[in-house]
Amino acid sequence: MVCQRCVLAIEQITTQQKLPVRKIELGEVFFHEPLTANQINLFKNAIEAIGFELLQDQENILVDKIKQNLIQYYAAENDEKFVIGFKEYLEQKIGIEIAKLNEVYFKHKSKTIEQLAIELRIEKVKELLIYNDLSLKEIAFQLNYSSVPYLSKQFKNIVGVPPKVFKTATKNNRKGLDEL
């Protein structure tokens, strides 16, 4: 689950199925008591029907937590979001050293956490280009890029076209966060 609408969708399913929910957060559902095998199967089928996946393996849960926390890191709408780097942020939020997080993430996704962070950052650049009237300089500053040329180079490497071309294109191909 990557947004509040996702949480609401899960709440609706758990309510319909009368499951003993204690708390629902981004990426996690906590129950008052263990579910029966039948309840798990019904819940799994219901969430898969709307595009979610039931994660029960601890490493898969950790991979999901890494992604959720990075999404929150780049989505923050305050001036303090880059006070610490994303690696330190993940260590603080998850409580595991970045080397171990990266090892598990790479094992499951065949890319590093840094590659995911770059992809998320570029998606944020796309969002700002499409929905805001910010200049590249303002976007670079807002997303803590060292310079506009560095932002442009990274953008072109990932997207295939420079930011200015992307902004003027009639069809902007943004990826859903679940596709990263």
d(CA 37, CA 40): 5
Q: For residues 22 and 31, is the Cβ–Cβ distance under 8 A?
A: yes
| pLDDT of 123 | 92
List, in order of start, the domains of the chain with CATH numbers: 4-54 (no CATH), 59-179 (1.10.10.60)
Q: For residues 17 and 42, is the Cβ–Cβ distance under 8 A?
A: yes
- What's the mean pLDDT in 158-180? 77
For 97, half-sphere exposure in the C-beta direction (CA atoms, 13 angstrom radius) is 3
Which of residues 52 and 111 earns the better pLDDT score?
A: 111
| pLDDT of 146 | 92
Per-residue pLDDT for 119 more than 50? Answer: yes
Q: For residues 87 and 113, is the Cβ–Cβ distance under 8 A?
A: yes
Q: How many of the other CB atoms lie within 10 Å of CB of 7? A: 17
Binning pLDDT at 50, 70 and 90, where does residue 78 land?
A: low
Per-residue pLDDT for 143 more than 60? Answer: yes
Q: For residues 30 and 5, is the Cβ–Cβ distance under 8 A?
A: no
Q: For residues 9 and 50, is the Cβ–Cβ distance under 8 A?
A: yes
Per-residue pLDDT for 1 more than 50? Answer: no
Per-residue pLDDT for 170 more than 60? Answer: no
Which of residues 54 and 47 earns the better pLDDT score?
A: 47
| pLDDT of 79 | 55
